[in-house]
Amino acid sequence: MNLVVLTGAGVSAESGIPTFRGKEGLWKNFKPEELATPEAFRKNPKLVWEWYDWRRQLISKAQPNKAHKLLAQIDAVIITQNVDGLHQRAGAKKVIELHGNIWRVRCTSCGKEYENYEVPLREIPPKCKFCNGLLRPAVVWFGESLPMDALEEAERLAKSCEVFLVVGTSGVVYPAGLLPFVAKQHGAKVVEINPESTPISEIADIVIREKATVGVEKFIQTMLNL
């Protein structure tokens, strides 16, 4: 079976990482425009980095859950909207990160990008190890375009797969939210795992109304019958 998986914040929620739009979402006490935009970073890089430092500390304590581990064991490419790196820590070999990775930094001066696992950060905002320029998180902020190579590969996979599994995503963040529709238009069966209804539910061939850990296990148990 040619299977492609799209994951969102819901797959990491059971690892203790808050979702962005749930009742305990990361935006509950903060405004996105104050923290996750290029404009916010230009205005106050220290504030933005203090928030990202808090997030990095939270994520560093999290462990891949059963959903991450099960998805890592099946032969599928994982397209993720998450920036936490938990799919890779669970052992997944084929991961396309649409929104970047919180454990990577990019220099605003020399443009070099590299991994940084320092928790907590010794200096806020951190400086580039190559040129001492100002670093930013290597993630996609609101108002920024997705990395073209990752998006093109995700679209190619959506068009060519037999089954497109969607786990724990609200389906309202674009262009990632369009991928299940692209897959459906090209003949794939769409399976959604989410405890709540989303725009994807309307086109899904199978809907599993469970949290990610339970839903992924149920999917794997039945996938041979798809």
**Which residues are the active-site residues?**
99
Residue 39 annotated in ligand binding: no
Give the burial string for 4-23 (b: 16+ CB within 10 Å, else e): bbbbbbbbbbbbebbbebbe
pLDDT at position 225 is 60
Residue 223, pLDDT score: 76
Determine whether the annotation assigns residue 27 to a binding site.
Answer: yes
Equal CATH topology for 1-17+64-99+146-226 and 22-61+101-139: no
For position 32, what pLDDT does the model report?
A: 64
Q: Is 56 annotated as a binding residue?
A: no
Residues near 90 by beta carbon (within 8 Å), at least 6 away in sequence: 64, 68, 69, 71, 72
d(CA 80, CA 4): 11
Look at residue 35 in the predicted model and tell me its pLDDT.
Answer: 85
Kindly report the pTM of this predicted structure: 0.91
The reply to whether 83 sits in an annotated binding site is yes
Per-residue tokens: 169: 């995503």
pLDDT of residue 26: 53
Which CATH architecture best describes the domain 22-61+101-139?
2-Layer Sandwich (3.30)
- pLDDT at res. 218: 95
CATH code, 1-17+64-99+146-226: 3.40.50.1220
pLDDT, residue 56, reads 94
> Is 122 annotated as a binding-site member?
no
What's CA 29's distance to the chain center, in Å?
Answer: 21
| pLDDT means over runs of 10, the chain (226 residues) | 94 85 54 82 94 92 97 94 97 97 98 98 97 98 94 98 96 91 98 97 97 96 70
pLDDT at 173: 84
- Percentage of the chain exceeding pLDDT 90: 83
CA–CA distance, 7 with 5 (Å, rounded to integer):
6
Specify the pLDDT at position 174.
87
- Kindly list the domain boundaries of the chain, sorted by start residue: 1-17+64-99+146-226, 22-61+101-139
195 annotated binding-site participant: yes
